[in-house]
Amino acid sequence: MIEKTLQILQIDNIDLQILSILMNDATTPYTEIAKELVVSSGTVHVRMKKLQELGIVTGSNLLINPQKIGYDVCAFIGIYLQKGSEYHDAVKKMQDIPEVVELHYTTGVYSMFAKVVCRDTNHLRAVLNEKLQAIEGIQRTETIISLEESIKRQISLEDYIEAGKKK
């Protein structure tokens, strides 16, 4: 089943290994990747261009430690909407709240589920009371505060790479 996906996507093991390396460090020089995979740097370049055109690679970003710049509080907020249909309006308003770093439309008890990053608990309270509760259609929220983020990573491509090797 994994092999099938790879065929549909038209990507092979070299593509996957390039992705795997760059997902850990987007600044890895192409020459170094080329050396590791025993291909030319031109090949790495062509593959990356293809992956970008296919929309698999969407960009790159710098990872910063939010705590080190004074953003100490991370929380998840379950949001109850008065009607599910109000979701798209609510999304637009949530866009304007910079503290909201993720927003999902979900199954289960909540209509929406947000991840927010704040400086401290006061800041969190301000976001909840002044920003979120002010949005029309939001009925009620439930907050889960993260005391420690123990794992933070991207999905692994190992399974795919293994599957590709067997083929």
Q: Which residues bind its own copies (CB under 8 A)?
A: 2, 5, 9, 11, 19, 22-27, 54-66, 68-71, 74, 76, 78, 91, 94-95, 98-108, 110, 113-114, 117, 119, 142-160
**30 binds, options DNA, its own copies, none, Cβ within 5 to 8 A by partner type:** DNA
Asked if 21 contacts 28 with a C-beta cutoff of 8 angstroms, the reply is yes
Please choose, from the candidates 106, 118, 117, the residue with its C-alpha nearest in 3D space to the C-alpha of residue 79: 106
Which helix or strand (DSSP H or E) is residue 73 part of? strand 73-81
Tell me if residue 23 falls in helix, strand or coil: helix
Q: Which stretch binds DNA (CB under 7 A): 27-35, 71-79, 116-124, 159-167?
A: 27-35
Which CB, 25 or 120, lies closer to DNA? 25
Tokens of 93: 């308003």
Decide: is 24 part of the binding site for DNA (CB under 7 A): no
* 37/121 Cα distance (integer angstroms): 48
Decide: is 45 part of the binding site for DNA (CB under 7 A): yes
Decide: is 13 part of the binding site for DNA (CB under 7 A): no
Q: Within its chain, how far is the Cα of 31 from the centroid? A: 27
Catalog residues that contact DNA under the rule CB under 7 A.
14, 29-32, 39-43, 45-47, 50
